[in-house]
Amino acid sequence: MRHLLIVLLVSYSLSVMAAPRPFQRILSSPNGRLTLTVSASDSVRFSVSSAGQTLVNPSVIAMILADGRTLGNGVPQRSRVQSVRDSILPPVVTKRRVIRDRYKELVLEFRDKHALEFRVYDDGVAYRFRTDFTDSITVRSETARFAFANNPTVYYPAVQPRPEVDRFHTSFEEPYQIRSLSQLPDSVLCFSPVLLAPPTGPRIVLTESDLLDYPGMFLARQGNGLTGVFAPYPLTEKRIEAEYSQVVVANRADFIARTTGKRTFPWRVLVIGSDRDLPASDMVYRLATPNRIGDASWVKPGKCTDEWITNINLFNVPFRAGVNTETYKYYVDFAKRFGFDRILLDAGWSDNNDLFKITPGMNIPELVAYAHSQGVKLSMWTLAATLDRQLEPALKQFQSWGVDFIMTDFMDRDDQKMVNFYTRVAEACARAKIMIMYHGAYKPAGFERTYPNAITREGVLGSEYNIWSNKATPDHDVLLPFIRMVSGPMDYEPGLLSNATKEQFKPISGQVMSQGTRCHQLAMFVVYDSPISIFSGNPSQALLEPRFMEFLGSVSSAFDETKVLDAQLGQYIVTARQKGNDWYIGGLGNWSAHDLKLSLDFLGDGAFEAVSCTDGPNADRNPVDYQFSTKTVTRTESLPVHLAPGGGFLIRLRKK
């Protein structure tokens, strides 16, 4: 009996020693404010707190492969922590010349050649999977759960179901809905970014970065949090014939991605901060894969005109306005006069389905020669399905015309196959030294760092919605910097010169007006990130107001530094941008009036000439009303500014 007892005790002791111990590691941000806790036993979980306040409760992370393996399962074999203090010098300077990249990183390495990487910045937390398999893999699903504490208010854009396409088909252009997390219906499919506002403490923007060769992340409510939902891989597609034909998914697979086994996956990102922090954040950019195109000195930010929103409804001209050579020469003259780098030939310059079938009345060689003589470049719209089919010959044609910037439109998906279309087009354009902008597009997710020629994109409900709806309100406009813009630049296309109150507004094609004041439209050129800023107003109206247009034309589209001076989520935002020795301050407001006092302590020493364009005294009744003023200021002063309902302002400060 004694011998048997000894054997049983030894056996029990060995079994305890062999069991893996639960893992836990706590990591703080460089400034100590944010805390990330990572634990692992049966699965990996993470939680986040800010200054002791819990923001995210323990949330499960996993990736399930088609062969049955679950990544992020169990206890890691080893872990390591490092601190990074670095700076990024972006090859194309658009928001700031030097980007600080400081974080703490935790890497969990598992036995079967995969790892989880976590980073904690002062302005957020992110994680991603990394695999080191020899063979390719098929990802059946990914578990990305975010269990938010204290039932935050959610600001979210929801996919609107359409009978002719599946639930993952969307233009990524919807107004924000606002409700508590507990009241968000389980059936709603949101596209990121979304913003979560706890009752107290910082805001949280949930999004992703480094989206390459993998589907984008939608979000749906699950219990007290949100969970990632990913479009399955397209097995078969079909073409929907329409004015703007596009390829849609007919049948999807039972997996979300087939990909190489040795790679990193997209970052799941929580940008965390105050109302002033979020619009200025470049965390998504920092997390993205660095420049893949090599020398990017030929990528040139600038300003552009567009004629599509106003339906080319010109007046005071001696020709029939429309898609013809004379009209676009008129746009070239307008661009030269007011300091625009290029004009966009939007949909209609060619057959939508054949980029080599030029519309009658268009003499492209003549227009190219005229634009060149005026120092103005041409840019071209394309339909994505057509560009995909004619890519290489079309780019050669564009090169022969001196075109250095194109738009492609109507993708309306972010499954793996469509994500790879973005990469393929960006790479082809880079070889041809052509910049590319995507419309009908998902959010940038840092793509502009990886492919600097992919300089801006849509993925936003912008000016064009004034043609057919009342969705582009000042309330909507002022939310964009806190949510959508956190993911990267956005092509809103401001500049409409017919402006209306809420009661006056009507969507009228050809006589398009905007809601809010003229200065609300003007301020967008500073408040919104878009290195190619597009003026969508009617040039015939603009020519009647040369001082206003000269002022707008003097505003840069890319900046050396960006500071948010004042902001209140959903109420107003004031942003200062530096270009050389000059500063520009833009402010946007919602449908309420606001009186603000702007500190100028960010300026350098010496005196500055401040030229202000602000809402006029009657802008609350007639939103076209604006007024100019000029004064000399120094950094010790403050400027009072009044925003009318739906108002805005723009101030240019030049060193004297």
Known catalytic membership, residue 241: no
Nearest Cα to 573, choosing from 524, 615, 616, 537?
A: 524
Known catalytic membership, residue 409: yes
Kindly report the backbone phi and psi dihedral angles of residue 216, in degrees, each rounded to the nearest multiple of 5, phi listed first.
Answer: -70, 165
H or E segment to which residue 277 belongs: helix 277-280
CA angle, 433 then 438 then 442, to 5°: 135
Catalytic residue, candidates 464, 477, 529, 615? 464
Kindly report the backbone phi and psi dihedral angles of residue 322, in degrees, each rounded to the nearest multiple of 5, phi listed first.
Answer: 165, -165
Partners of residue 219 on adjacent β-strands: 190, 228
Nearest Cα to 68, choosing from 2, 132, 116, 140?
A: 140
Kindly report the backbone phi and psi dihedral angles of residue 321, in degrees, each rounded to the nearest multiple of 5, phi listed first.
Answer: -70, 145
Pair of tokens at residue 551: 């002022």
Partners of residue 610 on adjacent β-strands: 631, 653
Do residues 377 and 405 touch, judged by C-beta distance below 8 A? yes
Catalytic residue, candidates 208, 277, 346, 409? 409
Nearest Cα to 583, choosing from 564, 603, 612, 607?
A: 603
CA angle, 193 then 521 then 407, to 5°: 60
CA atoms within 13 A of residue 64's CA, in its CB half-sphere: 12
Strands of the sheet containing 561-568, edge to edge, are 561-568, 572-579, 582-589, 648-655, 608-615, 626-633
Residues in contact with 441: Cβ distance below 8 Å, sequence separation at least 6, in sequence order: 172, 411, 422, 457, 458, 459
CA distances from 625 to 52, 107, 314, 500, 507 (A): 48, 57, 22, 10, 20
Residues in contact with 597: Cβ distance below 8 Å, sequence separation at least 6, in sequence order: 638, 639, 640, 641
User: 344-367 burial, b for 16+ CB within 10 Å, e for fewer?
Assistant: bbbbebbebeebeeeeeebebeeb
- Known catalytic residues are 409, 464
